[in-house]
């Protein structure tokens, strides 16, 4: 039997988590046509990518954990087994009960609508996980190359996915039943990822040598390229990114790159209109050109390094680590005060 450490230290628990899934469905126009006999046909929905909300864009960033509608958390944990360390996913009710999910080894959970989970399996591509049962959605989502979280973008009624081949990258979409759309975006760049949408246009990102770029699709095969950096994040009319270890931004409509902070940055997110970032040792909050430390790695249980930041259910989460298999997930307020901490690993 393997050993898995999952310990929650609670000073305040979040209330019932209300899913934003339905309210975040992109705005749609409904054209009702009338047949010759006077009867109305079924309304035709046309998704408006201008309407993707900030919450929906946040949900498409890499997640430290997922909040379910009943208040449970789902997150990855390191487990020590007879065959060596393995990564598993668990569901935690905050009351001391944890359940290991029956998800195939080497799979990665990408998204939750509050009730169902969606994970990528190297064998089956994107799958739906509902109450212990898994359903592959479409084999076209399977890639022979490395799969990143940014290969997928989930909206209220569509799932966009990027698959690379020797000729570049194709970006397609399907509904939640797995039915594919006829629209295919293509770029000659290999290993392109999906960065988001701007003014109704799809944006993807990729690396060329040591430089990061985004491209804005004007049509399925025509795009405008901008030199940016790694981990691009679309917020309103700007793209934020990391360039040579600095947090920067640039207008999507064209303009000069702006360096936001002099401190080293390895990960960042937006929380309550403030940019939160980490250099691996501390968490900073930046506002009006000033950066302040709000949390240090040593404040987390047995941690000496901060590996990731994320927003889930409108809350800020910080992931700290120590060694190869110990990690601690902390929910904090905007000032870095730890509200809840979960240890999800083991020491050797």
Each residue's pLDDT tens digit, 151-179: 999 999 999 999 998 889 999 999 999 99
Instruction: Read off the pLDDT of residues 60-103 as tens digits, 9 standing for 90 and up.
Output: 999 999 999 999 999 999 988 888 888 999 999 988 899 999 99
Average pLDDT score over the chain: 85
Q: What is the structure's pLDDT at 11? A: 37
Rg (CA), the chain: 21
CA–CA gap between residue 132 and residue 154 (Å, rounded): 21
Q: Which residues contact 271 (CB under 8 A, 6 or more apart)?
A: 311, 316, 334
Is 347 a residue whose pLDDT tops 70? yes
Q: What is the structure's pLDDT at 95? A: 87
> What does the buried/exposed string (b/e) look like for 47-65 if buried means 16 or more CB atoms within 10 Å of the residue's CB?
bebebbbeebbbbbbebbb
Q: What is the structure's pLDDT at 52? A: 64
Is 321 a residue whose pLDDT tops 50? yes
> 2-6, 170-174, 233-237 — which is least confidently predicted?
2-6
Q: What is the structure's pLDDT at 310? A: 95
Instruction: Over range 171-194, report the average pLDDT.
Output: 95
Q: What is the structure's pLDDT at 71? A: 95
| Domain boundary assignment for the chain | 143-237
Token pair in block for residue 101? 């999910």
Q: Is the pLDDT higher at 255 or at 6?
A: 255
The share of the chain scoring above pLDDT 70, in percent, equals: 85
CA–CA gap between residue 317 and residue 86 (Å, rounded): 23
Is 257 a residue whose pLDDT tops 90? yes
Quote the pTM value.
0.84
Instruction: Over range 287-311, report the average pLDDT.
Output: 93
| Helix, strand, or coil (residue 18) | coil
Q: What is the structure's pLDDT at 6? A: 55
Instruction: Over range 178-202, report the average pLDDT.
Output: 94
Q: What is the structure's pLDDT at 285? A: 95
Is 147 a residue whose pLDDT tops 70? yes
Q: Which residues contact 322 (CB under 8 A, 6 or more apart)?
A: 302, 303, 304, 305, 347
Q: What is the structure's pLDDT at 3? A: 52
């Amino acid at each position: 039997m393997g050993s898995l450490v999952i310990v929650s230290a609670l000073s305040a628990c979040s209330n019932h988590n209300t899913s934003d899934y339905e309210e975040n469905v992109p705005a749609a126009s409904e054209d009702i046509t009338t047949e010759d006999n006077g009867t109305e046909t079924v309304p035709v929905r046309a998704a408006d990518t201008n309407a993707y909300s900030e919450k929906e864009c946040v949900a498409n960033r890499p997640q430290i954990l997922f909040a379910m509608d009943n208040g449970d958390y789902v997150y990855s944990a390191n487990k020590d087994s007879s065959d060596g360390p393995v990564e598993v996913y668990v569901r935690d009710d905050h009351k001391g009960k944890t359940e290991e999910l029956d998800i195939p080894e080497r799979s990665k959970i990408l998204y939750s609508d509050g009730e169902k989970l969606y994970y990528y399996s190297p064998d089956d591509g994107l799958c739906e996980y509902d109450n212990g049962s898994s359903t592959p959605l479409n084999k076209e989502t399977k890639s022979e190359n490395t799969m990143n979280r940014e290969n997928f973008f989930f909206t209220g009624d569509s799932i966009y996915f990027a698959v690379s081949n020797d000729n570049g990258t194709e970006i397609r979409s399907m509904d939640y039943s797995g039915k594919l759309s006829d629209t295919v975006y293509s770029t000659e760049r290999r290993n392109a990822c999906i960065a988001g949408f701007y003014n109704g246009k799809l944006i993807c990102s990729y690396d060329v040598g040591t430089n990061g770029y985004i491209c804005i699709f004007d049509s399925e095969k025509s795009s405008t390229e901008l030199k940016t950096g790694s981990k691009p994040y679309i917020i309103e009319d700007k793209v934020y990114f990391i360039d040579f270890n600095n947090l920067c931004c640039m207008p999507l409509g064209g303009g000069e790159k702006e360096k936001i902070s002099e401190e080293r940055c390895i990960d960042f997110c937006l929380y309550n209109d403030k940019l939160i970032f980490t250099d691996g040792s501390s968490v900073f909050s930046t506002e009006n050109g000033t950066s302040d430390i709000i949390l240090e790695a040593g404040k987390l249980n047995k941690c000496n390094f901060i590996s990731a930041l994320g927003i889930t259910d409108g809350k800020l989460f910080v992931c700290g680590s120590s060694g190869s298999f110990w990690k601690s997930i902390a929910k904090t307020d905007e000032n870095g005060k730890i509200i809840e901490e979960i240890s999800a690993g083991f020491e050797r």
